[in-house]
Amino acid sequence: MITYQHINVKLPALPHRATSAWIRAVAATYGKRVGDVAYVFCDDEKILEVNRQYLQHDYYTDIITFDYSEDGVVSGDLFISLDTVRSNAAAQGTDYDEELHRVIIHGVLHLCGIDDKGPGQREVMEAAENRALDLLRQMAEEQGRGKSKQP
């Protein structure tokens, strides 16, 4: 089950069913099934607290992924700072919703086994994020066409 929670922020206006279907589809491209994945949307102060408490890191970040995956089933807790997503989108000249989706799927890609810390790995992660965002656009277009055919 994929859940969406919030601490110190308003829950983002995401279509939960469609977002969850997209997450499952992306995981499936890596031969994975989705187990229990909890998205916790928060502010910078909360993510800094989590970063300090669990990772001994003293800095802000957009996402922290706690991976509980096993036997081909992705599971984890993903903390996302909406403050950092917003500031990153502004700094990069990117649409906020696109940056939010990029961060959402970034965590799932970690759960699927993609890393981004070693040499050349950042490029692999970015390519995977871009493919996932393309899939999201494709799924949205297909859903839009399906709705237009209904009476």
What residues does each domain of the chain span?
Answer: 2-143
| Beta-bridge partner residues of 65 | 78
**Average model confidence (pLDDT) across the chain:** 94
The structure's pTM equals 0.92
pLDDT (average), residues 18-36:
97
How confident is residue 145, by pLDDT bands cut at 50, 70 and 90? confident
Q: What does the pLDDT read at residue 147?
A: 58
Contact 33, 112 (CB under 8 A): no
All residues at 6 or more sequence positions from 35 whose CB lies less than 8 Å from its CB, including other chains: 1, 68, 69, 73, 74, 75
**Pairing state of beta strands 2-6 and 63-67?**
unpaired
Q: Three-state SS string across 34-78, please?
A: EEEEEEEEECHHHHHHHHHHHHCCCCCCCEEEEECCECCEEEEEE
**What whole-number percentage of the chain has pLDDT above 70?**
96
Is residue 139 predicted with pLDDT exceeding 80?
yes
Contact 109, 132 (CB under 8 A): yes
pLDDT (average), residues 22-26:
98
Q: What does the pLDDT read at residue 90?
A: 97
Under DSSP, the state recorded for 12 is P
**Pairing state of beta strands 63-67 and 73-81?**
antiparallel
**pLDDT tens, 46-105?**
999 999 999 999 999 999 999 999 999 999 999 999 999 999 999 999 999 999 999 999
What's the CA gap between 10 and 87, in Å, rounded?
A: 17
Q: What does the pLDDT read at residue 42?
A: 98
Q: Which two tokens stand for residue 46?
A: 């909360």
How confident is residue 143, by pLDDT bands cut at 50, 70 and 90? confident
What's the CA gap between 105 and 27, in Å, rounded?
A: 9
Kindly report the CATH class assigned to 2-143: alpha beta
pLDDT (average), residues 145-149:
59
